């Protein structure tokens, strides 16, 4: 299929999964009731379920799923490492440390925004720390150092979390663990607007960097010869992808696998041209996380399965299937099932 057909298909899929996501939930509603609620008619409680619970949650899944997936694709290009994902540079550790500190200090009891704010601040701290370490004397960024610094900073934050939790009471530990498992359950329109304000500009700007990222994938020196401002591209891409990740992690906690699996899956389908890969990764990530959230919410209703479990259970087999298929195609040996 051509990239444009994929884009149209995925764009349509985003709309479909959004509708599916507000159609399905723990409470059985008819399609008629759902549309009535969307028009602001019918039972007030059904309107609350659709407009205040399911719709912001579906919107958040689209934003965070798209954002994480896009950020993952950018990090893979930037670090020239297929294992790169949005959290690889310590952002999840920084965010979690902020969140755990806010919970442990009891700030969350009086200020509802303290937890996302602290998580975002922690993520920003991690971003700045990693960038400062990786920036060399002549103000260049060595991506190998960036990767190493990110992993080490992440490990440091993980130690901070372990320490804080080890001296905290049971309630703090429980809240912190729940937060770190990641969930879209807390999504309301205020957080959706906040995350949109970070996600949309950052996503558009990153898609705009697709051409220089294509050049970077060949090699920094070559990219320089071909006219890319390598240092600037690296820095801007790093900061934007990190902000994207930070906004998502602050609103929903740490949701794994999306940023690793989706970009690779898209890459296997459409190839490595970042002008195609980046927008399609956003759309595919949005579809993937929204579907995962529908499953998380309904499969064991009324309880919720942690969404990270679903992204792994659904994403990993799907990804392995794609991987096998592409290997078969590459070796001309065709693995049929």
Partner 1 sequence: MRWSFNCFLLATLLGCDVFPGQQLPARPEQPEPSSGYPFRVVDAAGAQHTFDSAPQRIVSLVPSATEALLGMARGDRLVGRTEFDRMPELIGLPSVGGGLQPNLEILVSLDLDLVIRFAGDSDLASAERMTDLGIPHFAVQPDGIEDVLTIIRDLGRITDASDAADSMLREIRDALDDVARRVDGLPEPRVVYLLGGDPPWVAGPGTYIDELIGIAGGTNVFDDLGTLYAPVSMEALLDRDLDLILLSDGLTPPSPLAHVASATLPASVEIPGPGLGEAARDIARLIHPGAFDPSPR
**Interface contacts to partner 1, rule CB under 8 A:** 20, 24-29, 43, 45-46, 48-49, 52-54, 103, 106, 108-109, 112, 169-172, 174-175, 178, 183, 185-186, 188, 291, 294-295, 298-299, 301-304, 314, 318, 321-322, 325, 336-337
Q: Output 28 or 332, the one with its CB closest to partner 1.
A: 28
What residues pair up with 135 in beta bridges, in sequence order? 141
Q: What is the largest CA-CA distance in the chain?
A: 65
CB nearer to partner 1: give 27 or 239: 27
Cβ-based nearer residue to partner 1, 81 or 301: 301
Beta carbon nearer to partner 1, 42 or 224: 42
Concatenated DSSP letters of 42-65: S-HHHHIIIIIIIHHHHHHHHHHH
Q: How far is the CB of 335 from partner 1 (least distance, A)?
A: 9
The residue among 2 and 132 lying less far from partner 1, judged by its C-beta, is 2
Tell me whether the omega of the peptide bond preceding residue 302 falls within 30 degrees of 0, making it cis. Answer: yes
The smaller minimum CB distance to partner 1, of residues 237 and 294, is found at: 294
Measured between alpha carbons, how far is 47 from 167 in angstroms, rounded to an integer? 44
Which CB atom, from 200 or from 322, has the smaller least distance to partner 1? 322
CA geometry: angle at 296 spanning 201 and 188, to 5°?
Answer: 45
> How far apart are alpha carbons 70 and 237 in whole angstroms?
11
Q: Smallest Cα–Cα separation from 288: which of 53, 62, 12, 16?
A: 62
CB of 310 to partner 1, least distance (A): 10
Helix (H, G, I), strand (E, B) or coil at 117: helix
Residue 46 backbone phi and psi in degrees, to 5: -65, -40
Q: How far is the CB of 325 from partner 1 (least distance, A)?
A: 7
* Cβ within 8 Å of residue 274, ≥6 positions away: 73, 77, 210, 211, 213, 214, 217
Shortest Cβ distance from residue 172 to partner 1 (Å)? Answer: 8
Residues 6 or more apart whose Cβ sits within 8 Å of residue 169: none
């Amino acid at each position: 299929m051509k990239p444009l057909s994929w884009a149209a298909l995925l764009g349509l899929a985003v709309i479909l999964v959004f509708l599916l996501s507000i159609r399905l939930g723990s409470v059985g509603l008819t399609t008629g009731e759902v549309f009535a609620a969307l028009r602001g008619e019918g039972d007030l409680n059904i309107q609350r379920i659709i407009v205040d619970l399911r719709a912001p949650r579906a919107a958040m899944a689209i934003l965070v799923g798209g954002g994480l997936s896009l950020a993952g694709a950018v990090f893979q290009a930037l670090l020239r490492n297929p294992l790169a994902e949005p959290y690889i540079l310590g952002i999840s550790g920084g965010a979690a440390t902020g969140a755990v500190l806010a919970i442990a200090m009891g700030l969350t009891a009086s200020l509802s925004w303290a937890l996302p704010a602290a998580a975002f601040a922690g993520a920003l701290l991690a971003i700045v720390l990693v960038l400062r370490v990786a920036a060399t004397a002549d103000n260049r960024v060595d991506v190998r150092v960036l990767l190493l610094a990110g992993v080490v900073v992440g490990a440091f934050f993980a130690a901070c979390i372990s320490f804080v939790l080890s001296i905290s009471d049971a309630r703090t530990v429980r809240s912190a663990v729940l937060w770190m498992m990641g969930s879209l359950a807390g999504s309301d329109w205020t957080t959706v607007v906040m995350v949109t304000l970070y996600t949309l500009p950052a996503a558009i700007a990153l898609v705009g960097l697709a051409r220089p990222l294509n050049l970077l994938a060949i090699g920094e020196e070559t990219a320089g010869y071909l006219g890319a401002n390598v240092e600037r591209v690296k820095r801007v891409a790093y900061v934007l992808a990190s902000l994207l990740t930070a906004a998502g992690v602050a609103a929903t906690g740490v949701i794994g696998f999306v940023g690793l699996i989706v970009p690779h899956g898209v890459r296997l389908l459409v190839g490595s041209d970042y002008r195609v890969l980046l927008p399609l990764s956003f759309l595919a990530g949005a579809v993937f996380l929204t579907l995962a959230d529908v499953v998380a919410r309904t499969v064991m209703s009324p309880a919720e399965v942690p969404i990270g479990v679903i992204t792994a259970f659904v994403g990993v087999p799907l990804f392995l299937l794609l991987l096998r298929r592409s290997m078969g195609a590459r070796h001309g040996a065709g693995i049929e099932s």
